[in-house]
Every structure is written in C-alpha cells, then in structure tokens.
Amino acid sequence: MIDWTRLNDLRADIGEADFAAVAQVFVTEMRERLVVLAANPTAATAEDFHFLRGSAANLGLSDMVAACNTAEGVCRLGKAPDVADVADAFAAAIIAIAAEIPGLTNNL
C-alpha cells in the first residue's frame, strides 16, 4: 500500500522541517482534483490520473499509483474510469501515512 522507502527518501531529500508542509501540498492538490473528478466522473481525462499518479508516486502511495494507472488506461480507451476506486486508494493511503506526517489529516 505504501512505499515507505520512497516516503522516507522524500523526507530525507526535503528535510524534516519542511516535509510535513510539502506532503500537505501534495495531499491537498490530490484531494482537490479528486473532488472535481467525483463531481463529474465522465469529464475525467487520462491527464487527470497522470497528475494524480505522479503526486501519489512522490509520496510513495503505491496502491493509489496502481489505481491511477488503471484509470488512466481506461480513459485512453475512451471509457469512464472508476474515480471511486482512486478516491478509495487515496483515503486508505492517507490513513496509513497520517501518523508519520503531523497535520496531514487536517481539513480532509
């Protein structure tokens, strides 16, 4: 579910002092995009899931990366993606990493 090595590498690259703020930016941007997609899933594009996949990969959210890969591929086939599957993977990942990142679940 979580690539802890990737998450900890990001923490080491950024530094402990700034890590929580950077993680919060990634999470906020992903959450905002998911809210838009949930409101109108038929308007979802492969680019939406490409963006989400990149953000999830930066934080080591491996199950979300997989869900985004699937949704992106479905979009490229001209079909409606399963936005709920991506949103569920996001929610589970945030719960899994919340203890590692102070304030992460604020305003979720």
| 80 within a domain of the structure (yes/no) | yes
pLDDT score at 106: 61
Question: By residue range, what is the domain housing residue 35?
Answer: 4-100
Q: Give me the sign of the Cα torsion angle 24, 30, 31, 32.
A: positive
Q: pLDDT band at 101, cuts 50/70/90?
A: confident
d(CA 45, CA 75): 6
Give pTM, 2 decimals: 0.90
| 106 within a domain of the structure (yes/no) | no
Interval 46-65: pLDDT, tens: 999 999 999 999 999 999 99
| 105 within a domain of the structure (yes/no) | no
pLDDT exceeds cutoff 90 at 12 = yes
| 51 within a domain of the structure (yes/no) | yes
Number of domain units in the chain: 1
Average pLDDT over residues 28-51: 95
| 68 within a domain of the structure (yes/no) | yes
| 108 within a domain of the structure (yes/no) | no
pLDDT score at 40: 92
| 107 within a domain of the structure (yes/no) | no
Task: Please report, for the domain that includes residue 58, its CATH number.
Answer: 1.20.120
pLDDT exceeds cutoff 70 at 78 = yes
d(CA 11, CA 2): 14
Reading the block at residue 68, the tokens are 């985004």
Task: Sort 32 into a burial class: Cβ within 10 Å, 0-12 / 13-18 / 19+.
Answer: exposed
